[in-house]
């Protein structure tokens, strides 16, 4: 965009004497200087527009460079997460990042993190609309792994959001998370209930065996 503006401004400056000749029928250079004084404001305006275009182009380039660096950083982060996903030894190096303890749940949390990071990259690039984000988040939070992930990660992600788009992204996720809790509040504790039921059944079985043994001894 900058080059066409500069070329246009240069062409206008080069062709300006011809325009002045058309205005001044005699075509005398002595008159050109007088008429050129009235043309100075237009020339100054063109210079300002050209400088503004250059400045705007530099801002866009700086923004693109920053975005490229962020994408490269996220790609590296995703590779590290993938390594931790596939190898428990590498996973230990990340410390405690979830309240979950069993292998299956931890792998689900790591995988969900990759999904959310992918969404964030697309959202900040403008290729993932708010409508698509809300639909995807509602789907992920309809299951326990997604809700557990956001329950443990939301505070850190929201606190470290540095850009307006990142803050908006995490705000939308949190809104959909709160909606999921309002519609399915008991699903979060379902595994605990199942463990409690199994424990109760086991205790009942032990009690029955002890009671039977006591009756035989009696």
pLDDT for residue 184: 77
pLDDT for residue 3: 61
Helix, strand, coil percentages for the chain (3-state, nearest 5): 85, 0, 15
pLDDT for residue 189: 45
pLDDT for residue 205: 56
Tokens in use for 78?
Answer: 């995703």
Q: What is the DSSP string of 76-93?
A: HHHHHHHHHHH-HHHHHT
pLDDT tens string for the chain (218 positions)? 556 655 666 666 556 655 655 655 555 555 556 555 656 666 677 777 778 888 888 888 887 887 777 777 778 877 887 887 788 887 778 777 677 778 888 889 899 999 999 999 899 888 999 999 999 999 999 999 999 999 999 999 999 998 899 999 999 999 999 999 988 765 544 444 444 445 445 555 555 555 555 545 55
State how far the Cα of 108 lies from the Cα of 191, in Å rounded to an integer.
Answer: 15
Contact 85, 107 (CB under 8 A): yes
Tokens in use for 116?
Answer: 């959310």
**85-94: Cβ within 8 A, 24+ apart:** 85/110, 85/111, 85/114
pLDDT for residue 30: 59
pLDDT for residue 102: 82
pLDDT for residue 2: 54
pLDDT for residue 151: 92
Tokens in use for 79?
Answer: 């590779």
pTM of the full predicted structure? 0.56
pLDDT for residue 93: 80
pLDDT for residue 131: 95
Tokens in use for 39?
Answer: 């043309």
């Amino acid at each position: 965009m900058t080059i066409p503006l500069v070329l246009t401004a240069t062409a206008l400056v080069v062709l300006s004497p011809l325009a002045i000749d058309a205005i001044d029928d005699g075509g005398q250079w002595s008159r050109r200087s007088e008429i050129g004084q009235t043309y100075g404001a237009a020339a100054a305006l063109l210079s300002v527009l050209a400088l503004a275009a250059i400045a705007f182009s530099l801002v866009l380039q700086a923004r693109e460079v920053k975005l490229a660096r962020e994408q490269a950083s996220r790609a590296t982060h995703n590779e590290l997460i993938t390594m931790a996903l596939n190898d428990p030894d590498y996973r230990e190096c990340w410390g405690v990042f979830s309240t979950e303890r069993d292998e299956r749940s931890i792998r689900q949390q790591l995988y969900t993190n990759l999904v959310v990071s992918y969404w964030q990259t697309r959202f900040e690039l403008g290729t993932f609309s708010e409508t698509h984000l809300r639909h995807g988040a509602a789907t992920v939070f309809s299951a326990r792994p997604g809700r557990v992930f956001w329950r443990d990660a939301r505070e850190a992600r929201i606190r470290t959001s540095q850009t307006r788009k990142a803050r908006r992204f995490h705000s939308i996720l949190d809104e959909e998370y709160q909606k999921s809790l309002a519609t399915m509040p008991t699903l979060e504790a379902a595994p605990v209930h199942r463990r409690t039921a199994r424990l109760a059944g086991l205790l009942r079985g032990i009690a029955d065996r002890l009671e039977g043994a006591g009756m035989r001894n009696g």
